[in-house]
Amino acid sequence: MTRYVISRVLQGLIAIFGALLIVFVAQRLSGDPVALMLPMDASEADFAAMREALGLDRPLLIQFAIFLGNALTGDFGQSYQWNAPAMQLLLDRLPATLELAMAGLLFAVLLAVPLGVFSAVHRGSWMDRSAKVFAMLGQAIPGFWIGLLLILFIAVELQWLPAYGRGTLAHLVLPAVALGWYPVAAMTRTLRSSMLDVLESDYIRMERAIGLPERTIVWRYALRNAAVPLVTMVGVYFANMLGGAFVIEVVFAWPGVGRTVVDAVFARDFPVVQAGVMLSAVVFVVVNLLVDLSYGFIDPRIRRG
């Protein structure tokens, strides 16, 4: 187990290093990195100071070392749009993104678990077939379009819920549904197939023989084991959403990490863009690592093996 943990942590570190390398290369790709790091109206003295700070007259390897050193302290430069440290700016917006991600996942799980379980238990029924159609549509319809449709029908036509912004619980509903839309389909598919496997296993047959009520068997014993692959999926989606639900946040004008990064791309506020990429890479790696490690606790067989 210790060796496994160490190798997974190392893998994660390599991945983060790789992300830093990509950001560095992208910075140089544009020609003059200083032009990216400073506002358009910066003076010649600002340019000279920035060149000095980045060590642009030094060899590329030294430049990368400087970049790494800064990155390790969380320093990705100043956002000139907001006049604040880029990473701090994004961390300030993280709670909004976290709130949206948790609500989206909650919606996805609350819908996917009953759908997956019922369609596995009543395999081949009309319920199973409609869940299949639903899952297929879910994978083909982009979440941001669902978001637009929700705004059109629920917010504009029916005027039940607000369409834009963050504040009350009512503001959270539509973006959460749009964000959770895609995961619902994938989770339902996964849960249904793992549930089908579990329901055919020996210990379930044994519980049936003992005469436990079917409801107890399905919801207490079968679901607990069938849900293991679901844990990974929840982890992966959570990691993805935390890095910023870019398109959904833009659709609903949600003041989170994703929308800030998109705005920064338009404002040519590169420090914020690179901080955003690193933030989502780090979150992605860390959450995935935690999910993999949590497997050992959920499933003792993995811990021993």
Partner 1 sequence: MAEALIPRAFVARLWARVFRRNRVSSGFPFVASGVLGLVLICALFGPWIAPYRATAISLADAMTPPAWMEGGSASHLLGTDNLGRDILSRIIAGARVSTTVAFYAIVLSGLIGAGLGMAAGYFGGVVDAVISRVIDTQMAVPSIPLAMLFAAVLPPGEAMVIFIIVLSYWTWYARIVRGEVMSLRERDFIALAKVAGVGTPTIFVRHLAPNLLNTLLVLATLQFGSVIVFEAGLSFLGLGIQPPQVSWGGMLSDGRNFIEVAWWLITIPGIAIMAACLASNLLGDWLRDTFDPLRRQVW
The residues binding partner 1 (CB under 8 A) are 11-12, 14-19, 22-23, 26-27, 29-30, 36, 132, 135-137, 139-142, 144-145, 148-149, 151-152, 156, 189, 192-193, 196, 239-240, 243-244, 246-247, 250-251, 261-262, 264-266, 268, 270, 273-274, 276-277, 280-281, 284-285, 288
Nearer to partner 1, 109 or 280 (CB): 280
Q: C-beta of 141: minimal distance to partner 1 in Å?
A: 5
Closest CA to 179 of 115, 231, 103, 113: 103
User: Closest approach of Cβ 156 to partner 1, in Å?
Assistant: 5
By beta-carbon proximity to partner 1, the closer residue of 28 and 212 is 28
CB of 285 to partner 1, least distance (A): 5
Residue 140 CB, nearest approach to partner 1 (Å):
4
Beta bridge partners of 85: 78
CB of 24 to partner 1, least distance (A): 11
Nearer to partner 1, 114 or 213 (CB): 114
CA distance 36 to 54: 12
Nearer to partner 1, 10 or 110 (CB): 10
Are the C-beta atoms of residues 48 and 302 closer than 8 Å to each other? no
Q: CB neighbours of 69 closer than 8 A, spacing ≥ 6?
A: none
Q: Pick the closer one to partner 1 by CB: 88 or 193.
A: 193
